[in-house]
Amino acid sequence: MSNTAPPDTPNTYRSGPDERGHFGIYGGRFVAETLMPLILELEEAYERAKADPEFHAELKHMLVHYGGRPSPLYFAERLTQELGGAKIYFKRDELNHTGSHKINNCLGQILLARRMKKTRIIAETGAGQHGVAVATVAARYGLPCVIYMGCVDIERQAPNVFRMKLLGAEVHQVTAGAGTLKDAMNEALRDWVTNVHDTYYIIGTAAGPHPYPEMVRDFQSVIGEEVRVQMMEAEGRLPDTLVACIGGGSNAIGLFHPFLDDKDIAIYGVEAGGLGLGNPEEHCASMNGGKPGVLHGNRTYLLQNDDGQIIEGHSISAGLDYPGVGPEHSWLRDTGRVNYVAVTDAEALEAFQLCTRIEGIIPALEPSHALAHVQKLAPTLPADNLLVMNLCGRGDKDVFAVAKHLGVEM
Partner 1 sequence: MTTRIDKRFAALREKGRAALVTFTTAGDPDYETSLALLKALPGAGADIIEMGMPFSDPMADGPAIQASSQRALKAGQTMKKTLRMIREFREGDQDTPLVLMGYYNPIYVYPVEGFIGDCIEAGVDGLIVVDVPPEQDDELCIPALEAGLNFIRLATPTTDAKRLPAVLENTSGFVYYVSIAGITGTAAPDTGEVHGAVARIKMQTELPVAVGFGVKTPEQARAIAAGADGVVVGSALVNALKASLDENDRPGAATVSSVTDLVRGLAEGLASSQTATVK
Where does this chain touch ligand PLP (CB under 6 A) — which range of 29-37, 140-148, 162-170, 239-247?
A: 239-247
Rounded to whole angstroms, the Cα distance separating 109 from 43 reads 12
**Residues from 128 through 167 that contact ligand PLP (CB under 6 A):** 129-130
CB hemisphere CA count around 362 (13 angstroms) = 9
Shortest Å distance, C-beta 372 to partner 1:
30
Q: Select from 111, 156, 158, 174 the least CA-distant residue to 138.
A: 111
Buried b (16+ CB within 10 A) or exposed e, 71-93: bebbebeebbebbebbbbbbbbb
Question: 343: which strand partners?
Answer: 272
Which one of 16, 38, 42, 156 is in contact with partner 1 (CB under 8 A)? 38
3-state secondary structure of 393: strand
Spatial separation of the C-alpha atoms in residues 397 and 410, rounded to whole Å: 14
User: Which member of 60, 140, 190, 376 binds partner 1 (CB under 8 A)?
Assistant: 190
CA distance 404 to 119: 40
Q: Of 143, 142, 184, which Cα lies nearest the Cα of 161? A: 184
Query: What is the residue type of 279?
Result: N
Chain residues 301-360 in contact with ligand PLP, contact rule CB under 6 A: 319-320
Omega of the bond leading into 70 within 30 degrees of 0 (cis):
yes
257, 225 contact by CB (below 8 A) = no
User: Restricting to residues 258-297, which ones interact with partner 1 according to CB under 8 A?
Assistant: 291-297
Q: Please state, in angstroms and rounded to a whole number, the distance separating the CA atoms of residues 149 and 158.
A: 11
Give CA–CA dist 122/192, Å, rounded. Answer: 8
Total of residues contacting partner 1 (CB under 8 A): 39
Minimum CB–partner distance for residue 206 and partner 1 (Å): 19
Least distance from C-beta 247 to ligand PLP, angstroms?
A: 3
Which residue of 53, 309, 382, 409 would you call a contact of partner 1, by CB under 8 A? 309
Closest to 70 (Cα-Cα) out of 80, 85, 60:
60
> Considering only residues 5, 116, 158, 196, which one is a binding residue for partner 1 as defined by CB under 8 A?
196
Residue 302 contacts partner 1 per CB under 8 A: yes
DSSP state of 292: E
Nearer to partner 1, 81 or 194 (CB): 194
Q: Cβ closer to ligand PLP: 76 or 272?
A: 272
Which of residues 10, 85, 177, 276 is near partner 1 by CB under 8 A? 177
Q: Three-state DSSP class for 12?
A: coil
Q: Measured from the CB of residue 172, what is the shortest distance to partner 1 in angstroms?
A: 14
Per partner kind, with CB cut-offs from 5 to 8 A, the member of partner 1, ligand PLP, none near residue 294 is partner 1
- For ligand PLP, the binding residue among 150, 280, 323, 393 (CB under 6 A) is 393
Phi, psi angle pair for 388, to nearest 5°: -115, 125
Which position among 23, 31, 341, 344 is part of the footprint of partner 1 (CB under 8 A)?
A: 31
Binding residue for partner 1, selected from 7, 84, 278, 308, defined by CB under 8 A: 308
Q: Which of 57, 64, 166, 176 binds partner 1 (CB under 8 A)?
A: 176
Residues 79-118 that bind ligand PLP (CB under 6 A): 100
Is residue 362 part of the contact set for ligand PLP (CB under 6 A)? no
Contact residues toward ligand PLP (CB under 6 A) are 100, 126-127, 129-130, 205, 245-252, 319-320, 364, 366-367, 392-393
**Which residues of the shown chain bind partner 1 in the complex (CB under 8 A)?**
1, 20, 28-38, 176-177, 182, 186, 189-190, 193-197, 291-297, 299, 302, 304, 306-310
